[in-house]
A and B are shown apart, each in its own frame.
Chain A
Amino acid sequence: MGEDLSGAMASVTLRVGDLAGEWDRTGLIPLDLLRELGAEGRLCAEVPEQYGGWGLSSTHSGAYTAHVGGLCSSLRSVMTSQGMAAWTIQRLGTAEQSAVHLPRLTGGGLAAVGFSEPGAGSDLAAMTTTIRRDGDAVVVDGHKKWVTAAHYADLLVIVGRFEDGAVAVVVPADTPGVRIERIADPLGCRAAGHADVHLDGVRLPADSVLGGHGLPPALLVTTALAYGRMSVAWGCVGILRACLAAATAHAAGREQFGRPLAEHQLVAGHLADLYTAEQVAARVCEHASRCWDEGSPDQVVATVLAKHVSATQAARGAATAVQVLASAGSRDGHAVARAYRDAKLMEIIEGSNELCRLMLAQHALSAQGAP
């Protein structure tokens, strides 16, 4: 696997080349590239080999995700969506549903997962999308907001109310009644294909409902998001590595007041902070991935911790990198300018800073016998 992993990293580096800035400015990643990476199983690296997947452990998948995150956070966001869709199908679906859908996601098909709604962001109890039985079919009605990668997607995994709970349902994007409306000019990850998804009387076979039975909404969403949180966390490690590389190169190469920037102590302090941020984020992600690979129940909290620590470190670290590069990094498309905007979004998606802190506080309390 080591050879395979480093080969895959070198390959994606070549294919992204110096284009990430252009994708950021135009808001599009070439669809051919996404389909190629998808068909190689690279967009959802942890899908088992039996479904045509790459079959990586969380640790190896994290290393790949960080690598791509350092090249282009938009591409990494598409991977996060694809991986989360695959994970949701694998975890919530039956064996038959995995056998039907997962090979599509490792065969070039693209997927997105819809949670948020106009009136239900963090407050999932307010979710109004409904999935109801109608004879041997189900009908989906609702509106999902900010669905990452939906612009590119062939398959949408949509979460909605069903009977006495909530379910995820697999919706081909070309089903009548599905309308996908691109979000113009997002702050960050501008080429990740964010879109609103409107579902109006969308009729599907009943076996599109993953697992077939309602689950508590919070359990369903926490389960589905777990993969996305790991992916975002590792992606933020990549952002920090790219920022560290750009800041050290600039500080070592540019002279002011007769010596390199790096020899000015206030600038050196920024470099130390960036290095520290990258190391802290990497260690907390490694720990969480190890918990996943060992099957430890600690993975649940370690995942939230990794997402929160990495996102906050990346947002602060990217701001530091822009400060070090100053005017050299202050235009759209530059690696640190992208990082600055992309990292800020990472503090918002897959559980905002505030929600992560609430979950961590709840865990701290219950672990002390005060549930």
Chain B
Amino acid sequence: MTTADTPNTHDLEKELLGFLEGRTGTAWDADTDLFDAGGLSSLFAMQVVVHLEKTYAIAVRGADLRLDNFRTVRRMAELVDRLRVAAAGGRHG
């Protein structure tokens, strides 16, 4: 299975859901499409990007900015997991 089932990822999803609720005044599910069904804007997508970078000490650059990576909270958590591994590898490399 992917890392999406680890407790670490679950905590991540919880934190992200809390961030979204705080910013939008609405409760979301980890699988809701925030930008299609949820109607959130590209301006909001940028806020999410900056939040992920600040909170998880990652850099979201280039092709990682694809909206698919931010469509749902689950996808965001997967992105953070992947970039954290990359960042850790980079520091030792």
A residues near B (Cβ < 8 Å) are: 90-95, 97, 165, 210-216, 218-219, 222-223, 226, 294-301, 304, 359, 362-363, 366-371
Question: Within 8 Å CB of A215, what residues of B?
Answer: 65-67
How far is the CB of B62 from the nearest CB of chain A, in Å?
3
Q: Does B63 contact A (CB under 8 A)?
A: yes
**Complex Cα gap A297–B22 (Å):** 12
Question: Within 8 Å CB of A297, what residues of B?
Answer: 23, 47-48, 50-51, 54
Cβ contact of A219, chosen from B39, B62, B63, B67, cutoff 8 A: B67
**Complex Cα gap A309–B42 (Å):** 21
When the two chains form their complex, are residues B26 and A219 in contact, meaning their CB atoms are under 8 A apart?
Answer: no
How far is the CB of B51 from the nearest CB of chain A, in Å?
4
**Complex Cα gap A295–B49 (Å):** 10
B residues near A (Cβ < 8 Å) are: 23-26, 38-48, 50-51, 53-54, 61-63, 65-67
**Complex Cα gap A214–B65 (Å):** 9
Question: Within 8 Å CB of A210, what residues of B?
Answer: 62
When the two chains form their complex, are residues B67 and A366 in contact, meaning their CB atoms are under 8 A apart?
Answer: no
Cβ contact of A211, chosen from B40, B41, B62, cutoff 8 A: B62
**Complex Cα gap A40–B46 (Å):** 31
When the two chains form their complex, are residues B61 and A91 in contact, meaning their CB atoms are under 8 A apart?
Answer: yes
**Complex Cα gap A212–B54 (Å):** 25
When the two chains form their complex, are residues B61 and A219 in contact, meaning their CB atoms are under 8 A apart?
Answer: no
When the two chains form their complex, are residues A367 and B25 in contact, meaning their CB atoms are under 8 A apart?
Answer: yes
When the two chains form their complex, are residues A93 and B62 in contact, meaning their CB atoms are under 8 A apart?
Answer: yes
Q: A215-B67, A367-B24 are in contact. List 18 more A-B contacts (CB 8 A).
A: A93-B61, A95-B61, A165-B66, A211-B61, A211-B63, A213-B62, A213-B66, A218-B42, A219-B45, A222-B46, A296-B54, A297-B47, A300-B47, A362-B41, A366-B23, A369-B24, A370-B25, A371-B40
Question: Within 8 Å CB of A366, what residues of B?
Answer: 23-24, 40-41, 44
When the two chains form their complex, are residues A371 and B24 in contact, meaning their CB atoms are under 8 A apart?
Answer: yes
Question: Within 8 Å CB of B63, what residues of A?
Answer: 211-213
When the two chains form their complex, are residues B62 and A92 in contact, meaning their CB atoms are under 8 A apart?
Answer: yes
When the two chains form their complex, are residues B51 and A219 in contact, meaning their CB atoms are under 8 A apart?
Answer: no
With A92-B62, A212-B63, A215-B66 in contact, is A300–B46 under 8 Å at CB? yes
Of all chain A residues, the one with the shortest Cβ separation from B70 is: A219
Question: Within 8 Å CB of A362, what residues of B?
Answer: 41, 43
**Complex Cα gap A371–B25 (Å):** 9
When the two chains form their complex, are residues A216 and B42 in contact, meaning their CB atoms are under 8 A apart?
Answer: yes
When the two chains form their complex, are residues B62 and A94 in contact, meaning their CB atoms are under 8 A apart?
Answer: yes
A-B contact pairs, 24 of them (CB 8 A): A91-B61, A92-B65, A93-B61, A165-B66, A210-B62, A211-B62, A212-B62, A216-B42, A218-B41, A219-B45, A219-B67, A226-B46, A294-B54, A297-B48, A298-B47, A301-B43, A301-B47, A366-B23, A367-B23, A367-B24, A367-B25, A371-B24, A371-B26, A371-B38
When the two chains form their complex, are residues A223 and B44 in contact, meaning their CB atoms are under 8 A apart?
Answer: no
**Complex Cα gap A211–B63 (Å):** 5
Question: Within 8 Å CB of A367, what residues of B?
Answer: 23-25
Cβ contact of B26, chosen from A218, A298, A300, A369, cutoff 8 A: A369
